[in-house]
């Protein structure tokens, strides 16, 4: 059994050594590291070549013109020689036992897809936030029980990311979705690329082992509001593809559509807080509040009288719509206190 670890690389030179080493130091000899340089304008491409020169039997490099994250991942998938593909973002890292755990799980279960847990590393202060388990460790999903996976995909973000999945390569390569249609918008690409393999996998196994370190950058969220970038996050082209799969799964029911709507509202609220908490001045906060949040919430049915939305979320939505900065600052402060109490951050 051979694993292909796929790393899309674009202008992330300061993180590459740590990322690559976390993969190369995995146990066993049964893996290749495929680095896709997506037209980096820093030294990223040269660093990739240096690793290929140092590990010619283990590392392969693909250089391509900048095409975006989705097409960089697809280039890696096309080039993969392994029986399974694993995914690693250039600023993240594997835990030392990642590949050993995935390997053991596949050997014991014959899984087509292994989904494993992860944790967040906050670059600004070095704090760590564990991720809650989506299922019990070792849970197996096949036949009708795969409906539980699909329901999670619809109602939550817990199973979105492709980088905490090991997927049989033939499933990925059989996917004939035209990803070029989505290349101009990286938001939601993980869920999009997970739909086909999770639908066609015969057996999916979940491991509640935190095997992946996801780096969170405070600087990655624009402190100066980028309206065009933000509007892209609301582009529902990928959402329509999810609707198509919901019909395929027999889950395009009023109940599940309502859960999807609630998820969209929750995502919009999270998106607001990511921007608002990154702002450093009152002027920046006012600029963020000027965005058309009210229209986004209204389009999702998130009215202040919608009892299906938890009360505390409705309070937050109301404060955003009314641009009540003092109340929002208090809510933000309470959220930070809760985080410190929970994780010691």
* Choices 3.90.320.10, 3.40.50.2300, 1.10.150.110, 3.90.550.10: CATH for 3-216: 3.90.550.10
In the chain, pLDDT over 70 holds for what percent of residues?
Answer: 93
Q: For residue 343, name the pLDDT band (cuts at 50, 70, 90).
A: very low
Residue-level pLDDT at 344:
45
Q: Which helix (H) or strand (E) holds 215?
A: strand 203-216
Intervals of CATH 3.90.550.10 along the chain: 3-216
Cβ within 8 Å of residue 34, ≥6 positions away: 4, 5, 6, 7, 59, 60, 61, 62, 76, 79, 80
pLDDT at 262: 86
d(CA 246, CA 240): 10
Number of Cα atoms under 13 Å in the Cβ half of residue 39: 8
How many whole angstroms separate alpha carbon 205 and alpha carbon 203? 7
188 forms bridges with which residues in the sheet? none
Give yes or no for residue 119 having a pLDDT over 90: yes
Sequence-ordered alpha helix ranges (H) in 186-253 = 189-200, 227-232, 237-249
Residue 224 has a pLDDT of 62
Segment 100-106 mean pLDDT: 97
149 vs 229, residue with greater confidence: 149
Indicate the pLDDT class of residue 33, thresholds 50, 70 and 90: very high
Name the pLDDT band for 18 (thresholds 50, 70, 90). Answer: very high
Per-residue pLDDT averaged across 112-138, rounded? Answer: 91
- pLDDT at 222 (0 to 100): 47
Confidence of residue 124 (pLDDT cuts 50, 70, 90): confident
Please name every residue paired with 166 in a beta bridge, in sequence order, or none if there are none: 86, 114
Share of the chain above pLDDT 90, in %: 69
Pick the most confident of 135-139, 228-232, 267-271: 135-139
**Counting beta carbons within 10 angstroms of the beta carbon of residue 156, is it exposed (0 to 12), middle (13 to 18) or buried (19 or more)?**
middle
Which of the residue ranges 159-173, 255-269, 294-308 has the most confident prediction, judged by mean pLDDT?
159-173
Q: Which residues pair with 120 in a beta bridge?
A: 129, 214
CA-wise closest residue to 150 among 114, 228, 223, 204: 204
- Is the CB of residue 307 less than 8 Å from the CB of residue 334? no
Find the mean pLDDT for residues 294-298: 86
126, 55 contact by CB (below 8 A): no
Say whether pLDDT at 4 is over 90.
Answer: yes
**How far is Cα 276 from Cα 271, in angstroms, rounded to an integer?**
9
Radius of gyration of the chain (CA): 21
Could you give the CA distance from residue 91 to residue 51 in angstroms, rounded to a whole number? 16
pLDDT of 341: 46
What is the model's pLDDT at position 137? Answer: 97
Give the separation between CA 18 and CA 16, rounded to whole angstroms. 6
Instruction: Tell me which of 9-13, 103-107, 211-215, 273-277 is least confident.
Output: 273-277
What tokens appear for 131 in the block? 């991720």
Q: Which of 165, 189, 193 has the alpha carbon at shortest distance from 177?
A: 193
Confidence (pLDDT) at 302: 64
Question: CA 98, CA 332: separation in Å to the nearest integer?
Answer: 35
Q: Where is average pLDDT lowest: 142-146, 205-209, 306-310?
A: 306-310
pLDDT at 2: 96
Least confident of 41-50, 57-66, 122-131, 279-288: 122-131
Q: In the prediction, which pLDDT does 221 show?
A: 46
Q: What is the mean pLDDT of residues 184-199?
A: 90
Q: How far apart are CA 98 and CA 205, in angstroms?
A: 15
**Residue 132 CB-density burial (10 A; 0-12 exposed, 13-18 middle, 19+ buried):** exposed
Model confidence band, residue 10 (pLDDT cutoffs 50, 70, 90): very high
Residue 345: pLDDT over 70: no
């Amino acid at each position: 059994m051979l694993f292909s670890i796929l790393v899309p690389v674009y202008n992330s030179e300061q993180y590459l050594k740590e990322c690559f080493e976390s993969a190369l130091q995995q146990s066993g000899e049964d893996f290749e590291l495929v680095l896709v340089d997506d037209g980096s304008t820093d030294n990223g491409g040269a660093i990739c070549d240096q690793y290929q020169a140092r590990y010619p039997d283990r590392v392969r490099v693909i250089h391509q013109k900048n095409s975006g994250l989705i097409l960089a991942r697809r280039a890696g998938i096309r080039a993969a020689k392994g029986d399974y593909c694993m995914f690693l973002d250039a600023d993240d890292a594997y835990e030392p036992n990642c590949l050993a755990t995935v390997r053991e799980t596949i050997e014991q279960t014959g899984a087509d897809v292994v989904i494993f847990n992860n944790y967040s590393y906050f670059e600004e202060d070095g704090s760590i936030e564990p991720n809650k388990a989506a299922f019990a460790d070792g849970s197996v999903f096949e036949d009708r029980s795969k409906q539980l996976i699909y329901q999670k995909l619809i109602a939550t973000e817990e199973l979105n990311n492709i980088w905490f999945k090991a997927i049989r390569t033939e499933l990925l390569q059989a996917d004939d979705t035209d990803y070029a249609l989505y290349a101009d918008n990286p938001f939601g690409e993980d869920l999009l690329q997970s739909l086909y393999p999770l639908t066609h996998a015969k057996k999916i196994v979940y491991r509640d082992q935190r095997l992946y370190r996801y780096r969170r950058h405070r600087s990655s969220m624009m402190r100066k509001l980028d309206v065009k970038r933000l509007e892209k996050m609301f582009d529902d082209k990928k959402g329509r593809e999810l609707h198509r799969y919901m019909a395929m799964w027999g889950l395009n029911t009023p109940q599940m559509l309502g859960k999807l709507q609630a998820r969209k509202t929750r995502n919009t609220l999270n998106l607001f807080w990511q921007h608002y908490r990154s702002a450093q001045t009152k002027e920046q906060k006012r600029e963020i509040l000027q965005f058309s949040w009210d229209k986004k919430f209204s389009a999702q049915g998130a009215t202040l009288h919608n009892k299906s939305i938890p009360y505390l979320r409705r309070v937050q939505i109301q404060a955003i719509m009314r641009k009540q900065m003092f109340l929002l600052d208090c809510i933000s402060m309470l959220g930070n206190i809760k985080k410190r109490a929970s994780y010691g951050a």
